[in-house]
Every structure is written in structure tokens, then in C-alpha cells.
Chains A and B, each alone.
Chain A
Amino acid sequence: MSKVVMTVDDSASVRQMVNFTLKNAGFQVIEAVDGVDALSKLKQTPVHMLITDLNMPNMDGIELIRKVRCLSSAQKFVPIIMLTTESQPLKKQEGKTAGATGWIVKPFKPEQLLAVMKKVLG
């Protein structure tokens, strides 16, 4: 049974890149364009992991992480990786406080993404 990963990003390029990399590695991928979209999709389909951008319209990544960690279902324990161009420790800290599991700084290569996946998903 392949694991389901949701990629949340307002940029189609990033979504496509994540999707392509993960599909090749045998994951099932669900795409969401922002935090609101992600939350509503999460309620329909449980996922094993979340990869989210931080800067997004409607609901940003930090807010999404916070909302997911407050869910009442088991979904609140899924690993969340934040993608960010900001390497400022402040933004990262904000994400961590919100409950992000790990982070990748954009731009990244497919191998780097997979290595992080392995670290949090096993």
C-alpha cells in the first residue's frame, strides 16, 4: 500500500516537481493550492504526510500547520515538512512552534526531498 502525501503550494511548478519526485518514488500524491484547500482535502482523504509552503494566499503554511495540529483525528500526528525560501531562523522557528516536523529550504533537488521523507516517514 503506497503512502499518501499531500503537497500544498500555490506555485504549480513546485507542486509538479514534488508530485513528480514522489510519484517516481512510489508515493501517492494529493495536491492542494493553499491552506484552506489542504484542510478540506485532508478531511476527505487521510494522508501519511504533508509538505507545505509557508507563503500562500487564503491560509498560509503556518496557520495550516497550527490547524492540522489541532484536529481531533489521528491526522494531527502526521509529519509536516515546510518548504520555504526563507532560511531566516525566525520563520523556521515560527513553523516549528506551530508544530512543523521538519523543513526543506527551496530550491531543493529531488534526492534532498526524498532524504527528508525518509527521515520522517521511515
Chain B
Amino acid sequence: MNDSLMEVFKVEATELLSELESALLELETASGDKAVIGRVFRCLHTIKGSGAMVGCNEISAFAHELENMFELVRQGTIPVCKMLTDLTLSSVDLIHTMLDDPDSQTAQKQVKEIISALGRLGSLIESREHSVRTEAVFETQSPETDWAKEVTNVSALVDNSGKLATFRIFFCPNSDIFNRGMNPVPLLNELRQLGECEVLACVDALPDLYELNPEECHTYWSVILTTTASIDSIRDVFIFVEDDCVLKIDVIGEHSSAGDLPSKKLGEILVEEGEVTREQLAEVLGKQKRIGEMLVEEGLVSPSKVQAALMEQQHLKELREKHGDRSAASVRVPAAKLDSLVDLVGELVTVRAGLNQLAFSKKIPELRSLAEHVDRLTAELRDNTMSLRMLPIGVTFSKFNRLIRDLSTDLGKEVILTTEGAEVELDKTVIERLHDPLVHMIRNSIDHGIETPEARIASGKSRQGALHLSAEHSGAHVLITIADDGAGLDKDAIRARAIEKGLMSQNSEQSEKEIFSLIFAPGFSTAQKVTSVSGRGVGMDVVKRSIDSLGGSIEISSEEGSGTTITLKLPLTLAIIDGLLVKIGDAHYVLPLSFVEECIELTGGDAGKAHGRKLVFLRKSIVPYIRLRDRFSISGEAPTAEQVVIVETVDGKIGFVVDKVIGQHQTVIKNLGKIYRNVTGISGATILGDGTIALIVDVPKIVKSSVLEEISQAV
């Protein structure tokens, strides 16, 4: 980077110097022309600035000297004279020499000579300027200290003492800060990064809606922050706004360990803040009510002040609990015990549904309120139990650091891994089964996606490839993204390979998404050569299968030249799924909702049009269907109007004919037990609210076996 920057600077400086030269010559003839002096000044100024940026400190300091001189000329304190232009012109030549050979000893000597000559010239004219100048010299010699004064500690800096302290920060920006493009939110986020932080936005100064000017800020913030950072680094967070806000930072407690964290009463905090006096407090304390309410009622403090104080109290309490209980923070429990707990909770959920039904039909108010109570408790119990099985995905992420390091060394590539959302929690089983697919995809990214350092530089990217792993919540799902900034997928190569393998026909038009999904086909690889890592085409199909078995889905987006992003959508837990409840005969079945595309009616006409074949028309395309009634050998007559649930799996779209679609159902999955382990087509069971059992249909298995049947029949 330095070399290329240096080159740019040289070119730029040479241009500026010739501009400077011509301006100086012009100045000799038209001395005192303000515009020309301005030109000289700006040239010098830019050389100074750019020089310092690329590390040519001598040139920068020298230019600064000259600039100071011309500043005086510009102000009219000293006139333009022959001696000044002479000196400046020889400076121009000198800077040329310094550009070519920055370490030249003679040049440095000459610089000193010129500077002292300028000094003499300056002192000749007026001695006062001299002192101004020397002061300025000092300034450029230490740009670092300058900077340090300006923007220090912007990223979370921990002060040396490492002592934990809690601060109360009151931040009230002026209402016009938006007009300066200032957004308070990043500042608050910066505070959050400094330590344990509670932020309360106070909106009691907010005017009524019809008076509100949305371009003004009426919110102020009260923040409690426990951090090892010093008060100065907290103040530095607000450096850009300190003149445009009311900022109060107080230490409310210093503590080397959490044991001596203060426990303060609400009233004490308010007294300390100076919001009420001790006498006022004592007076209201006499009328026993909630202290916060009382203070507000008395009109002594605003509700948000009380809220802020409450927050502070809570913050300290939590902090103490957290630190205090660290020793007993976790208990190891065998997984089997957890599983049986989950099972029991599942059954409780079922019983609850039964109880609810009964309570609503019996019209006994007492029973009903009892049922509602049980309802709420069960829901909480279920959520809590499920969360016991949850593990943060960060554990898995951190394992990949080593993998990436080794792989990239093997392949001669440079890769930096960044991760995000390590705290996102997933069911233990899901995490365990996610490891191998993730390894596959990371390998793919490094081997196929990210280019060699040389190729990256050639295409204008940084030497090091970036690989980003992230996890985030999205409803009842977790999205896991693997993104690289490599070469991206080569659409044409995939297409060509697919045609070659007979996966698609020569002239079929397919969308980007469809083409990308081809890489999940078994045995598919566009790699020219097989390496120890990849190229055999085994991998992505395995990945797809394991993600499917977890009830998840994969999506790829890629842009040639700028990288590939693979997104996995996984259910939070395997113990509960979203299902579609259907009815065949007297029995209920559940189809996992992740497979279901849509539901349509099956009319007699359809069956007739297909000439006896089991095909249904879906928006001009033909979808084969399977009668679950036949498949499960259910006796009895089918109703005249049946319904088709269209599902989509790796093996394609297919319709399941059922008697009736009932609707969505939160399904607690139960094992069928040893005896039924070998039953194909059923993956488990669930108990419905009324106590009946619904079987969960193993959609991919049924589709697969039907496809195989079809093929064997055709042969």
C-alpha cells in the first residue's frame, strides 16, 4: 500500500511544485495579487497535508515552514519581496530532490539553511511573527500528540488500572443535533461496548404529536455503565457532540471485585443525583406507598427520572448476582435427563390442550381460570425446558479457526475468518449435526471460492480473502450464513457441466437460483482438478441431505467476481416442529410444514384428464401425486372432494392426496419406540389435544421410494 501511495504522492507533488513555481514567478511581476498568493498557499498546504499522510515528514514539515511564511504574506503582515520568492523557488527545487531521494543528507542540510534564512527574513520584518512561527513548528513536529488530543480512545479502550467502576451518564443532546448529521445511536452503542451498560431513553420532553418537529431531537438518555474504562474514555465517546449537549458523567461506585458493589435504595440514588433532598425523601417515605410512585405524585421528579434510578438499581443488582454466582454458574446434566424432561413437558403440553378443551366446553368459570393459569405456566415451562437444550453456536464457530488456518496454508491462500452472532443458540442436536455440513461448505469456499493472493491482487481485491460466518434469529428459525468474497459461482461452467451430465437439456432456460441449486446434485463438481480437499463432487449433496434431515433449507446467492453467500435456514429445535395437520379416514397425520408448498383441491376432472395416471395440473405444469390412503392401506371410501398437499423435496415436487387438510399444528415430536423403528414412511408421532395420536409422515422417504417405484415400473 505504501509504495502505491508514495507513487501517487510523487506524481501529485510534482504537479503541485510546477504549479507553485509558475505562481511564484507570476507573483514576482504582480506582487500583492491576493489570488496568486492564495494559489501559492494552497499548493504548499496540500503538499504538507499529503506528505504527512504518506509518511514524508521532512517534506511536510518543510512545506509547513513555507506555508507559515505565506500565511503572513496573505494576512498582509509581510510584503512579497525578491528574497522571499528566491528562497521559495530554491525550496521548490529542494523538495524535488527530497522526493527523489528522501534520505539525502545534503538536502536535509539545505532545508535547515533555508529555514534559518526564512527565520532571518521573518525576524527582519517583525519579531513577533517569529514566536508565532516557532510555536507552529512545534505543532507539526508532533502531529501524533495533536491527533491524540482530537480523537482518542474511540474504540473501546480499557484503562490501565483495570478497575471496575460504575458510571451514571446523563446525555441530553441539543434539539438541533440532527442538523449536523449526528446520530446519537452509534454513540450509545459505543458505550455498550465499553462494558455492562443499561440505556434508558427519556421521552418526557417530547412535545405532542402535532407540535413535534421530526427534524429535532427531544429525547435524552440516562445510562448506567459498569466498565474498566476511565472517565476520560467515556467522555471521548461524546467528543463530537460535547459542545452540543448536556453531558454529566458521575462515578457512582468503584469496585475492584463485585462483592463490594453497593446496594442502593432508590431514594438514596435520587438524593445523590440532587433530584430530591433528604428531607423531602423522609417526608414522602412517611406515607408508605411505592417510593417511585410517591415521588412522581409529589411532582418532585419526572417519571423518567424514577425509571432511570430504578434501572440503575436493577443494573447493580444484576451485576452483583452475576458476579456473585459465578462459581455455581453451571451444572452438568446428562443429556438423557434433559431429553426425558423435554418428553415430559411435551406430554404436559398435550394434557394442557385437553384441559383447555374441557374447560371451555364445561362453562365453569373457576375451571376456566385454572386452565388459563396452567396454560401460561406450561408455555413458560416449555420455553424454559427448550432453552436448557440450547447451546450457543459460537462453540462450533471457534472450531473452524484452526480448520481455516490449516486449509489456507495447504492451498497457498490467505483467508481471514470473521464471525458474528456466536451467541445465537440452537438445539444441541442441531448444533452437533451441523458441524460436518459447515466443514464441507467452508472447505468449498476456501478451495473454489477464494482465489490465490496473486489472482486476488490482479482482480483488484485485497490479498487476503474474507470468510464470514454469521448466525441470526429469524422467527422460529436460525439463519446461518457463510459468505466469502471470492470468485463466485461460475454460472456458465455449472450450466455446461449440468448439460454434460444430462441434468438439464441444452436449450432449457433456467433461473439463477435453479442453476445454483444444481451444485447440490450428487457427483456434481466443476473443479478442473481433484484436490485432497474437493473436486470429487461428493459434498454438497451430502450437505443438502443433512440440512434437509434437520428440517432446514439452503439458499445460495452468488455474484461472479465478488463472492458467494450460502444461507442455511434451520429450525431452532428438533423437538417441536411446525406441521400441517391432515385427516385420512379417521386418522390424523402431520406433514412437516417445511416441506409443504401449497394445498389444492383434487377434482374428479383432473383424474380423468390424466388418463388414469396419477397426475394433477398445477398452473400449467404437471405434478405427480401419491394417495396416502393407498400408501398406508387405509380402508374405507375416499370422499368425493379430496385435497392435495404439494410438497417439495430434493427429488422434486409431488402431491400427497389426503381427505382433508385441517391446518397448522405445533407438533411435539415423540419417538415411536423400538418396535416400530423399521417402519418406513413414518418418522414419529405426536399427541393431539384430545388425546388422539397423529403420525408424522416422513415426507422425503415416501417421495424417494415412490420415485424409485416409478423408475422400476418404467423399466
Contact = CB atoms under 8 A, between A and B. Distances in A.
B45 A119 contact: no
B117 to A, nearest CB: 24
A118 B191 CA distance: 12
Nearest to B468: A26
A96 B42 CA distance: 22
Tier of interface size on chain B:
35 or more
Given A13-B8, A24-B462, A119-B186, A106 B49 contact: yes
Contacts of B1: 20
Contacts of A14: 49-50, 53
Nearest to B39: A57
Interface in A45-77: 53, 55, 57, 69, 76-77
A112 B147 contact: yes
A87 B185 contact: no
Given A55-B45, A101-B240, A13 B12 contact: yes
Given A11-B12, A85-B45, A100-B180, A119 B147 contact: no
Given A87-B146, A115-B154, A120-B240, A13 B180 contact: no
Contacts of B185: 122
Given A12-B8, A13-B5, A120-B186, A77 B147 contact: no
B536 to A, nearest CB: 34
A13 B147 CA distance: 19
A108 B152 CA distance: 12
A119 B154 contact: yes
A96 B181 CA distance: 11
A78 to B, nearest CB: 5
B190 interface: yes
Contacts of A101: 180-182, 240
A20 B470 CA distance: 25
A107 B54 CA distance: 8
A103 B182 CA distance: 12
Nearest to A116: B151
Nearest to A10: B46
A14 B60 CA distance: 14
B52 interface: yes
Contacts of B178: 77
A13 B50 contact: yes
A122 B150 contact: no
B118 to A, nearest CB: 19
B116 interface: no
Nearest to A56: B42
Contacts of A53: 49
Interface in A1-24: 10-14, 16-17, 20, 24
Interface residues of A, number: 40
Contact of A103 (B150, B155, B181, B462): B150
Given A101-B240, A115-B155, A106 B182 contact: no
Contact of B183 (A100, A105, A122): A122
A112 B178 CA distance: 23
Contacts of A24: 462
B515 interface: no
B51 to A, nearest CB: 8
B462 A121 contact: no
A120 to B, nearest CB: 6
Contacts of B4: 16
Contacts of A17: 5, 53-54
A80 interface: yes
Nearest to A11: B50
B208 interface: no
A13 B181 contact: no
B516 interface: no
B243 interface: yes
A92 to B, nearest CB: 9
Contacts of B182: 79, 101, 120
A87 B52 CA distance: 14
A122 B42 CA distance: 34
A106 B8 contact: no
Given A55-B45, A119-B154, A108 B147 contact: yes
Nearest to A80: B181
A104 interface: yes
Contacts of B48: 85
Contacts of A16: 4-5, 8
A5 B31 CA distance: 42
Contacts of A112: 147, 151, 154
B658 to A, nearest CB: 43
B52 A79 contact: no
A7 to B, nearest CB: 13
15 contacts: A13-B9, A16-B4, A24-B462, A57-B42, A69-B179, A79-B183, A85-B52, A87-B146, A99-B179, A104-B150, A107-B147, A115-B155, A119-B187, A122-B183, A122-B186
Interface of A: 10-14, 16-17, 20, 24, 53, 55, 57, 69, 76-80, 85, 87, 96, 99-108, 111-112, 115-116, 118-122
Given A11-B53, A99-B179, 12 more contacts: A14-B49, A20-B1, A55-B46, A77-B178, A87-B150, A104-B151, A105-B143, A107-B143, A112-B147, A120-B182, A121-B183, A122-B186
Sorted nearest first, the 4 A-B pairs with minimum C-beta distance are A122-B186, A115-B154, A107-B52, A79-B181
